């Protein structure tokens, strides 16, 4: 068959499919004949007619209908491939001037969206240069921002910033406000990723001004521009504004028709709900989960691989906060695969950061350090500063829980400096948590009482306990902080002597109480043998009970806020006397490190005795409210306290010196537990094993909803 005959056959097929198709299809099914027409028409040599009439006017309606409205990125790229003699080096010779430039630029954009980043560079740069040579300034400005986005995805932030500035300059000199919206928002996004949040805010304000010139009825930025704007607002901690504006923008007619923009706006809506839930402390994530899950589904439907990692990153954070670690890992694994395949370096940086935070939550500290080191290397190499304060906070948390005080303090200081210099407020909850763990609660005021004698502090606290005035409660909280700091310092000083005197094995009274607990926990383990029974030992000291519970077959984590005891625990870990990663340096009043409902059993063995009872929201009550949060709905808590009235200074005669003790009557202990939604299901009292004359009261309590459904009470 001759070449001419072949072309004539293709021409007839082109004419057949072009005539058969709907003029401007609105579904993929209707689009199939026109896509066939593109293929046959190009093979018949009708490149110009096919490009202008079929591809541009009928398929894409003069815009990007196939990509933006139908999410058919792959089909769009396949159609454009017909205009190349050898993809993606040079379009067919029949395409010249404007058509050639458009084909190159559009192909580069689609390759980038599909995650084929390495292939996108050459056509993008050729398209930009072609538009410049034709004095097509509007198209050149748009092409410049596409090139900027390409370099940003690869992590070449300096190149991305250069091309973004180029786009802004072209748009400012030659283009109207609609083009300026896109070029300004691209530059602002690059500045945001580079950590220049304040400058990004100023540039976004210019984008918003241009948007108002375009459409005063719809002043909010939409599509990708709106998504990038919302990301800046989230970095500024303005999640309430994002919720309001994202909900409003989702109702814009343009946004409803744009699949990717709808998905990304819904993603930021979910991220804002997540931030609000964290700030409120209740950690109710239902609104966030609904929006984020829908957004990830829509991102997949949009078929733009470049943006899917953004959705997976946000959802992985949510699932980590919910304690859904296996699902979090699945999202991160998929995110890594897409980012690695597409050489998307910023997404890889995000992967390593969130992977490190997940390992931290799982208490796999060796892998947490490795992941955070990988994140740090990428951040420093790329100049990717947007999440650097979060990375420093994660490294500070790792150092904190491992008892590395100097490193934790240094990393926290760097995180604070980075956040303060550029106005990043999205991680304030974590920075405040680290401040409290390292420096104490009420740290701005309690130091005024630090120089007081122990007698003076206890006397003033006793006076505060006698009144219910709010002003006295606040003063008592400051005094309590000074008291607990003094107690912590005392244990730092005597920790080794304390460990020697207490011995390696619980005394008979403690073993009896362990048996009461173990009988209940073993029943739980027998009912679900594949699920580990988890214990949190609060005030674990030198880890004697970690060793004991491990021997009983339970999975236990001990926490203590004494640096001295943490040093001892590290020594015991090295000697393999306790399991690796079985202890953390944390204050019991803030257990944000743990997800809600993480533990089957929380043990307060004498851990509350050095904290004064002040009232709801303070001291002991704060510790018990955190216990309530991390305890499973059907979990149990064990509390042992010294019996007696009031706050006393007691010297046991063992060489530890005088220490302040909060003593408890039966009535006081029941009241404190009840107002923190616990109900006693077992109790016991015993004399001191060291002959000090003080008796100890021990109880096992259940959350109110669990005990209200038939949990037996026994003595």
Note the pLDDT of residue 283.
Answer: 73
Length of the chain: 715
pLDDT band (50, 70, 90) for residue 3: low
pLDDT band (50, 70, 90) for residue 693: low
How many Å apart are CA 305 and CA 45, to the nearest integer? 33
Average pLDDT over residues 5-13: 86
User: What percent of the chain has pLDDT above 70?
Assistant: 95
Could you report how far apart the first and last alpha carbons of the chain are, in Å? Answer: 99
Neighbours of 402 (CB within 10 A): 21
**Better pLDDT: 240 or 1:** 240
How many Å apart are CA 72 and CA 168, to the nearest integer? 29
Average pLDDT over residues 280-286: 82
**Better pLDDT: 501 or 373:** 373
- Would you state the structure tokens that stand for residue 512, as one six-digit string? 């009896």
Q: Is the pLDDT of residue 707 over 60?
A: no
pLDDT band (50, 70, 90) for residue 4: confident
The pTM (predicted TM-score) of the whole model is 0.80
Task: Give the angle 616-619-624 at the CA atoms, nearest 5°.
Answer: 70
Enumerate the domain spans of the chain.
1-135, 220-300, 494-707
Q: Quick check: helix, strand or coil at residue 90? A: strand
Out of 312-316, 426-430, 573-577, 641-645, least confident range: 426-430
Average pLDDT over residues 418-439: 86
Which residues fall within 8 angstroms of residue 659, CB to CB, at 6 or more apart? 487, 490, 610, 649, 650, 651, 652
Average pLDDT over residues 605-626: 92
Contact status, residue 484 vs residue 447, Cβ threshold 8 Å: no
pLDDT band (50, 70, 90) for residue 469: low
Treating both helix axes as pointing N-terminal to C-terminal, what angle do 28-43 and 73-81 enclose, rounded to 10 degrees?
Answer: 10
Contact status, residue 495 vs residue 565, Cβ threshold 8 Å: yes
Average pLDDT over residues 643-653: 88
The DSSP line for 589-625 is T--TTSPTT-EEEEEEESSSTTS----TTSHHHHHHH
Q: Is the pLDDT of residue 43 over 60?
A: yes
Average pLDDT over residues 326-338: 97
Note the pLDDT of residue 255.
Answer: 65
**Each residue's pLDDT tens digit, 655-682:** 888 889 999 999 999 999 999 999 999 9
pLDDT band (50, 70, 90) for residue 428: confident
* CATH placement of domain 494-707: 3.40.50.150
Q: Is the pLDDT of residue 426 over 80?
A: yes
Mean pLDDT (the chain, rounded): 89
In the numeric block, the tokens 């959350």 are attached to 703
Q: Is the pLDDT of residue 312 over 80?
A: yes
Contact status, residue 219 vs residue 191, Cβ threshold 8 Å: no
Note the pLDDT of residue 153.
Answer: 92
**Better pLDDT: 468 or 379:** 379
Which residues fall within 8 angstroms of residue 31, CB to CB, at 6 or more apart? 21, 25, 59, 66, 70, 72, 75
Note the pLDDT of residue 692.
Answer: 54
Q: What are phi and psi of 530, to 5 degrees?
A: -85, -5
Note the pLDDT of residue 282.
Answer: 67
Q: Is the pLDDT of residue 307 over 80?
A: yes
Pick from 292, 227, 215: which is nearest to 253 by CA?
215
The DSSP line for 339-350 is HHHTT-HHHHHH
User: What percent of the chain has pLDDT above 90?
Assistant: 64
Note the pLDDT of residue 461.
Answer: 85
**Better pLDDT: 28 or 709:** 28
In the numeric block, the tokens 């992985």 are attached to 316
**Each residue's pLDDT tens digit, 494-534:** 999 999 988 888 888 888 899 888 888 888 888 888 888 99
Note the pLDDT of residue 708.
Answer: 47
């Amino acid at each position: 068959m001759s070449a001419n005959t072949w072309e004539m056959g293709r021409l007839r097929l082109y004419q057949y499919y072009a005539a058969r198709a709907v003029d401007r299809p609105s579904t993929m099914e209707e689009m199939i004949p026109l896509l066939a027409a593109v293929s046959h028409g190009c093979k018949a040599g009708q490149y110009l007619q096919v490009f202008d009439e079929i591809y541009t006017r009928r398929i894409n309606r003069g815009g990007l209908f196939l990509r933006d409205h139908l999410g058919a990125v792959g089909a769009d790229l396949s159609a454009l491939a017909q205009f190349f003699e050898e993809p993606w080096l040079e379009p067919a010779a029949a395409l010249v001037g404007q058509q050639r430039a458009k084909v190159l630029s559009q192909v580069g954009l689609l390759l980038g969206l599909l995650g084929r980043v390495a292939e996108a560079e050459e056509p993008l740069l050729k398209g930009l240069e072609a538009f410049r040579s034709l004095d097509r300034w509007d198209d050149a400005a748009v092409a410049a921002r596409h090139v900027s986005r390409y370099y940003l995805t690869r992590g070449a932030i300096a190149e991305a910033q250069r091309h973004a500035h180029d786009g802004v300059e072209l748009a400012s000199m030659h283009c109207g406000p609609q083009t300026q919206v896109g070029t300004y928002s691209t530059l602002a996004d690059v500045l945001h990723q580079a950590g220049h949040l304040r400058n990004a805010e100023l540039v976004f304000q210019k984008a918003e001004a241009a948007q108002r010139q375009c459409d005063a009825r719809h002043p909010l930025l939409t599509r990708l521009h709106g998504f990038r704007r919302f990301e800046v607002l989230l970095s500024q901690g303005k999640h309430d504004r994002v919720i309001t504006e994202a909900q409003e923008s989702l109702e814009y007619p343009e946004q409803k028709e744009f699949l990717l923009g709808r998905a990304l706006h819904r993603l930021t809506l979910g991220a804002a709900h997540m931030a609000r839930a964290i700030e409120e402390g209740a950690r109710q994530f239902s609104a966030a989960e609904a929006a984020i899950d829908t957004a990830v589904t829509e991102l997949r439907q949009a078929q733009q691989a470049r943006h899917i990692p953004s959705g997976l990153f946000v959802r992985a954070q949510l699932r980590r906060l919910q304690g859904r670690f296996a699902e979090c890992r699945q999202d991160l694994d998929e995110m890594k695969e897409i980012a690695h395949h597409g050489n998307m370096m910023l997404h890889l940086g995000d992967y390593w950061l969130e992977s490190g935070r997940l390992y931290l939550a799982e208490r796999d500290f060796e892998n947490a350090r490795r992941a955070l080191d990988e994140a740090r290397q990428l951040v420093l190499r790329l100049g990717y500063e947007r999440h650097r304060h979060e990375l420093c906070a994660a490294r500070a948390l790792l150092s904190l829980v491992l008892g590395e005080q100097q490193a934790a303090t240094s990393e926290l200081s760097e995180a604070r400096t980075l956040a303060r210099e550029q106005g990043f407020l999205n991680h304030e909850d974590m920075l405040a948590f680290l401040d409290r763990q390292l420096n104490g609660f009420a740290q701005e005021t309690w130091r005024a009482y630090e120089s007081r004698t122990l007698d003076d502090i206890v006397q003033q606290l006793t006076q505060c306990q006698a009144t219910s005035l709010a002003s006295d409660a606040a003063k008592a909280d400051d005094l309590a902080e000074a008291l607990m700091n003094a107690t912590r310092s005392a244990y730092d000083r005597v920790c080794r002597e304390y460990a020697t005197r207490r011995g390696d094995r619980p005394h008979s009274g403690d073993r009896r109480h362990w048996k009461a607990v173990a009988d209940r926990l073993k029943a739980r383990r027998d009912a679900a043998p594949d699920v580990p029974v988890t214990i949190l030992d609060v005030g674990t000291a030198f880890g004697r009970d970690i060793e004991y519970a491990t021997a009983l077959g339970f999975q236990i984590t001990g926490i203590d806020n004494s640096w001295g005891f943490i040093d001892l625990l590290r020594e015991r870990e090295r000697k393999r006397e306790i399991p690796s990663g079985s202890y953390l340096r944390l204050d019991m009043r803030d257990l944000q490190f743990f997800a809600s409902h993480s533990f089957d059993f929380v043990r307060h063995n004498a851990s509350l005795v050095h904290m004064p009872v002040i009232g709801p929201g303070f001291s002991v009550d704060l510790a018990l409210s955190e216990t309530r949060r991390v305890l499973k709905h059907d979990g149990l808590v064990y509390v042992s306290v010294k019996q007696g009235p009031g706050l006393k200074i007691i010297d046991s005669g063992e060489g530890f010196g005088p220490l302040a003790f909060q003593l408890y009557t039966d009535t006081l202990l029941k009241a404190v537990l009840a107002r923190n939604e616990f109900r006693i299901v077992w109790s016991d009292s015993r004399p001191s094993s060291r002959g000090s004359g003080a008796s100890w009261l021990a109880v096992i309590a259940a959350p109110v909803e669990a005990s209200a459904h038939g949990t037996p009470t026994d003595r």
